[in-house]
Structure 1
Amino acid sequence: MLALHYYPGNASLLPHMVLRELGVPFELRLVDRGQGAQKSPEYLKLNPNGRIPVLVDGDLVLFETAAIVLHLVDKYPDAGLAPPVGTAERAEFYKWMVHLTNTPQPEFRAWFYPHEHVNDETAVPSVKETAGQRLDRMFDVISEQLGDKQWLLGERFSAADLFLLMLMRWSRGMPRPARAIPNLNAFAERVFALPAVQETFKVEGIRTPVF
């Protein structure tokens, strides 16, 4: 059986939503960040970086959120969480998955943990502020690309939409959260209305505001 090592609201939220959308059996294994469990010797054997999530699929042990999701959509293609391989639509899906994992997702590291990016503690506020400004611009670009489409791929829902919802949730404490952009707010409402997404948030104990 698949096993997802997770922590509520962490980057594991995305593969958790994907697993529930797939409707396949899986086990949740809590990694208690409050107790530093992600740095324990046992967990470091799974992910030497000491970060969450990890997916265990038989003998396969995967870390990196986007890699986990790409594996899952390929393992269960009939669920339709990604377009068929080799199509232009699949290329667009890859574009969004790579963009979200390479551009806004790492920027949140600087927003949430600015002290990791400096040697001089007096620079922490500046690091956080500029990370927020860059994220603002990134969400503006995503908003322009989304336009009035229902989903990132147009009429087709995909795992990339779940990815964007997670990142929007992370922005909720910013001076201008992503939900302040009208079409992104409407998009997030559509994604959050999905039963599998609601169940994921319920299981993780995530309360309002969810994004």
Structure 2
Amino acid sequence: MTPILFYGVPSGCSFGSIVALEWLGQPYRLCRVEMPRDVTTDTFKRINPVAETPALLTADGRTLSESAAILHHLGALGLDRGLAFPQGSPGFDRFNQVLGFLNTTFFSAFGPLWHVLEHGSEGEEKRVLTDYGRARVARAHALLDEMLGDRPWLAGEQRTVADAYFAGIARWTDYHDVAGRMGYPRLQRLFEKLEADPAVAFAHAIEGQREARSAGGFLGEVALEAAVAA
């Protein structure tokens, strides 16, 4: 069967998995999941009981959740395209380290800001959470900027699915209107390079429900009910 990626909007971290699928170039379909409306339904929970996106229905009919697991899966399918490294190699260790940092420290730094947005925090609670979130986001950017150094890509000399994941999360500074990459020129250069990539432009268009031109293997979107029944 054709793999189906369940991606969340608005501004889900599943953006990176869409980019990775485009880079992979193999046939796939997408299923749009509105958050929080669709993600908490019994229908979607048949795909992921945790009620989170992304989730991937693989080519052999298995269901895979969690961004890191999905990106490792796609990276392994794209070793010939340089999307990941063979397990056990020094390159894999670097790649795994960076992907782990993105999936924990970098992602979670935005947690307080998402809480403010999703739970309607006001007054002192909003101020405290926003200040805390901004401090965590600044620290995460400083650490990742140092980790990137003078490398062209996060894992080294080649573009990997870790860069795709970064493209999806790094834009959250704009979504939450907090200071981010501009104080870290190396990260900003990477972000701008990714924003110019056709796969990233495609993912933006998909999220925005605009005309999207795939350079990969995109075969169209499928409704949630149909995707679950696939």
TM-score grouping bracket, smaller chain normalisation = 0.7 to 0.9
Q: Does 1:200 align with 2:203?
A: yes
Structure 1 segments of 4 or more deviating over 6 A?
A: none
| Relative contact order higher in (CA < 8 Å, ≥ 6 apart) | 2
Corresponding residue to 2:154 among 129, 152, 155: 152
Specify the SS of the correspondent of 1:31. Answer: strand
**Contact residue 7 and residue 30 of structure 1 kept, 8 A:** yes
**Contact residue 110 and residue 131 of structure 1 kept, 8 A:** yes
Deviations 1:177-201 (CA, angstroms, capped at 9, x unpaired): 2244222111111122222222222
**Contact residue 31 and residue 37 of structure 1 kept, 8 A:** yes
Q: Does 1:50 align with 2:34?
A: no
Aligned AA (1:65): S
**Contact residue 95 and residue 162 of structure 2 kept, 8 A:** yes
User: Structure 1 residues 194-203 or 94-103, which shifts more?
Assistant: 194-203
Please give the alpha-carbon distance, in whole angstroms, between the structure 2 residues aligned to 1:73 and 1:161.
Answer: 11
Please give the alpha-carbon distance, in whole angstroms, between the structure 2 residues aligned to 1:6 and 1:116.
Answer: 18
Kindly state the Cα deviation for residue 121 of structure 1 after the two structures are TM-superposed.
7.2
Please give the alpha-carbon distance, in whole angstroms, between the structure 1 residues aligned to 2:106 and 2:130.
Answer: 14
Aligned AA (1:80): G
Identify if the C-alpha distance between structure 1 residues 77 and 7 changes in structure 2 by more than 3 Å, giving closer, same or farther. Answer: same
Please give the alpha-carbon distance, in whole angstroms, between the structure 2 residues aligned to 1:151 and 1:192.
Answer: 14
Please give the alpha-carbon distance, in whole angstroms, between the structure 2 residues aligned to 1:93 and 1:168.
Answer: 18
Match runs of 1:1-211 below 5 Å: 1-8=2-9, 9-33=11-35, 36-57=37-58, 58-114=60-116, 122-172=124-174, 173-205=176-208
User: Structure 1 residues 93-102 or 188-197, which shifts more?
Assistant: 188-197
Aligned AA (1:37): D
Identify if the C-alpha distance between structure 1 residues 179 and 163 changes in structure 2 by more than 3 Å, giving closer, same or farther. Answer: farther
Kindly state the Cα deviation for residue 174 of structure 1 after the two structures are TM-superposed.
3.5
Please give the alpha-carbon distance, in whole angstroms, between the structure 2 residues aligned to 1:151 and 1:130.
Answer: 29
**Contact residue 115 and residue 121 of structure 1 kept, 8 A:** no
Specify the SS of the correspondent of 1:86. Answer: coil
Aligned AA (1:54): A
Aligned AA (1:6): Y
Please give the alpha-carbon distance, in whole angstroms, between the structure 2 residues aligned to 1:28 and 1:52.
Answer: 12
Deviations 1:121-166 (CA, angstroms, capped at 9, x unpaired): 7423202211210110110111122222211123221111122222
Identify if the C-alpha distance between structure 1 residues 43 and 94 changes in structure 2 by more than 3 Å, giving closer, same or farther. Answer: same
Task: Work out the percentage of aligned pairs sharing the same amino acid.
Answer: 27
Please give the alpha-carbon distance, in whole angstroms, between the structure 2 residues aligned to 1:75 and 1:154.
Answer: 19
Structure (1 or 2) with the greater helix fraction: 1
**Contact residue 110 and residue 116 of structure 1 kept, 8 A:** no
Specify the SS of the correspondent of 1:39. Answer: coil
Please give the alpha-carbon distance, in whole angstroms, between the structure 2 residues aligned to 1:98 and 1:105.
Answer: 10
Q: Unaligned stretches of 5+ in structure 1?
A: none
